[in-house]
Amino acid sequence: MWPILTSLLQDRPELALKGSATTPDGRYLHWEELRYRQPPEGLAVQEWWATTKWARTQRLTPIQAMKSLYPLDFGFVQLPTIQAELHDFDRKNVGRELFTALGNHDLLAEYRVRQLIEEAINSSVLEGARPTTRELARQLVRENRPPATRDEKMILNNWHAMKRIVELKDENRPLVVDDVLELHRILGENALEVPDAEGQLRGSTDPVVVQDLEGTIWHTPPPAEGLRERIARLLQFAEDGAVDGSNAFIHPVIRAIIVHFWIGYEHPFHDGNGRIARALYYWCMLRHGYELAEFLSISGPIDRAPKAYYQAFAFTETDDGDLTYFVLHQLKVMREALSELTNHLKERAASMKELARTVAGFDSLNHRQRALLQHAVHHPLESYTIEAHAEAHLVHYQTARNDFVDLVEMGYFVARRVGRGKRYFPAESLSKKLKEPLS
C-alpha cells in the first residue's frame, strides 16, 4: 500500500472499518478515477482512497509466481462480480448452441475455421493492419494466396499461429519457452517493424519501452537478464497456477487473463508482444478445456475500445500490481465476444433454416455444397477455389474438387481459368435456379 495511505490509517485506524473495495455503485476505480468523485459523507477523498485500498488489501489473492519475480505486489481481489462472471462463463453451454445453430459436427468444424480466421484478422487490425476489406481478408486466408502487402502478411501469420495453437493444444502437453519462440516466429515472419526479430527474445542492449503515438512512455519492462527463466516460470503458472509449492487455486480463466497481462508486462520481444500475449491467452484457455475459445474473438471488442485495453495495463502497474483492473476488463471483453458469438449463431440458425427451405428436396447436395450455395447467394460477385473450399471444411483436395464438379454440372457454378489456376463463380441465374427443383 502507498506509504501516505499507510500513515493515514495508522493515525486514524477507525477508517479501516469504513472501507469497501468498490464504490457504492459497485465500480472498481483507480485513484485517477476515484479522486474526482464525491467521497462518502464524513470522508475526505484521500481518506476514501485509504479505506478503499485497505479493503482491497485484506481481500487480495496474491499471485506468488509474479510477486517472487517483480517489485510489485501482484494479486487480484475476488469480487462477487468476478465470481459471477466466471460462473456464467462456466455454465454457458456454447457447444449445445453451436450444434443447435449449425446442425451437425461437420458444420461445427467449418464454423471453427471461420471464427479462427476472424480472430486472425481482428488481432492484426488491433496491431495496425489495414486490409482493403474484411471480405478480401477472409478470402486471402481461405485461399492461402501469397500476401501482397505487410498488412496481408500479418493477417496470414496470425492465421497460421492460431492453427498452431490448436495443434499445440492437441499435443496435450505443457508449453516450453521454445514453443513461445516458435509462435512468435510464425506471428512475426516478415511482419515486424524490427527486421529479423521474430523468435528472438530481447537482449540487454535492446531498449524496449511501451509508448503511444505521441511518444509518451507507458511502461518500461523488466531488464532482459533472466528473461528466459522468467518466461519458463510464466508457462509453469499457466499450467498449474503455482510455482512456489502453494495449493492456492486460481481459476483457469483468470490464469489465462493473467498470462495475457504477464506477457505484456515482460514485453519479451522487440515487437509483436500484443499478438503473442493474445496467442498465449488462447492456448491457456484451450489447454484447460475451454474449447469455446476457438469460437471467440477477443481482439474484436479490444479493437473497438483500445484505450480501455491499454488503460487496464497501466492501472494495474500504477496501483502496485493490482490485477483486478485487467481481470475485470478482460472478463468484459470475453462477455462481449461471447454475446457476439451467440447473436451470430442465432442469425446463422435462422439462415440455415431459410436455406433448408430454399433447397428443400435437394437431397443430393451435401452440407459443404449447401454452405457454398448459401454464401454465393449473398456474395454473387465472389469467386472460389478448390484449395480454399478444402481448407474451410478440412477435407481433402479431391473431395473439395468433386463438390465443385457436381455444382457446375447442376448449373449453379461456372468454372473459369484465371491466370494459372481455376476459379469457380456463381452462375448469373443462381438465385432463380435455387428455386427450381433438381431434375
Q: What is the pLDDT of residues 318-359, one digit of tens each?
A: 999 999 999 999 999 999 998 888 888 777 767 666 655 665
- Rounded to an integer, what distance in angstroms lies between the CA atom of residue 373 and that of residue 342? 23
Nearest one of 322, 295, 12 to 162, comparing CA atoms: 295
Domains and CATH numbers, the chain: 3-58 (no CATH), 64-343 (1.10.3290.10), 360-434 (1.10.10.10)
C-beta atoms surrounding 399 within 10 Å? 14
pLDDT (tens digit per residue) in 61-116: 999 999 999 999 999 999 999 999 999 888 876 666 665 666 556 566 767 787 88
Q: What confidence score (pLDDT) does residue 178 get? A: 98
Helix (H) or strand (E) holding 62: strand 60-62
Nearest one of 261, 128, 132, 140 to 191, comparing CA atoms: 128
| List of the chain residues with pLDDT < 50 | 360, 438-439
Q: What confidence score (pLDDT) does residue 202 get? A: 94
Q: What confidence score (pLDDT) does residue 210 get? A: 78
Burial of 414 (0-12, 13-18, 19+ CB in 10 A): middle
- Rounded to an integer, what distance in angstroms lies between the CA atom of residue 161 and that of residue 24? 44
Helices marked H in 41-176: 45-58, 64-67, 80-91, 94-102, 105-126, 134-143, 150-170
Q: What confidence score (pLDDT) does residue 18 get? A: 65
CA 132 from centre of chain: 22
- φ and ψ of 412, to 5 deg: -85, -25
Q: What confidence score (pLDDT) does residue 96 get? A: 62
- φ and ψ of 416, to 5 deg: -135, 145
Q: What confidence score (pLDDT) does residue 341 get? A: 84
Q: What confidence score (pLDDT) does residue 439 get? A: 45
Q: What confidence score (pLDDT) does residue 114 get? A: 79
Nearest one of 21, 140, 79 to 332, comparing CA atoms: 79
State the virtual CA torsion across 166, 170, 175, 178 in degrees, nearest 10.
-70
Maximum Cα–Cα distance across the chain: 91
Q: What confidence score (pLDDT) does residue 107 get? A: 61
CA 65 from centre of chain: 23
At CB < 8 A and 24+ separation, what contacts does 209-218 make? 210/264, 210/267, 212/310, 218/310, 218/313, 218/314
Site of grid cell 542492449: 205
Q: What confidence score (pLDDT) does residue 12 get? A: 66
- Rounded to an integer, what distance in angstroms lies between the CA atom of residue 402 and that of residue 92? 38
Q: What confidence score (pLDDT) does residue 11 get? A: 61
Nearest one of 285, 287, 317, 311 to 298, comparing CA atoms: 285
Q: What confidence score (pLDDT) does residue 403 get? A: 96
Cell of 285: 484457455
Cell of 347: 442469425
Q: What confidence score (pLDDT) does residue 206 get? A: 75
Q: What confidence score (pLDDT) does residue 355 get? A: 59
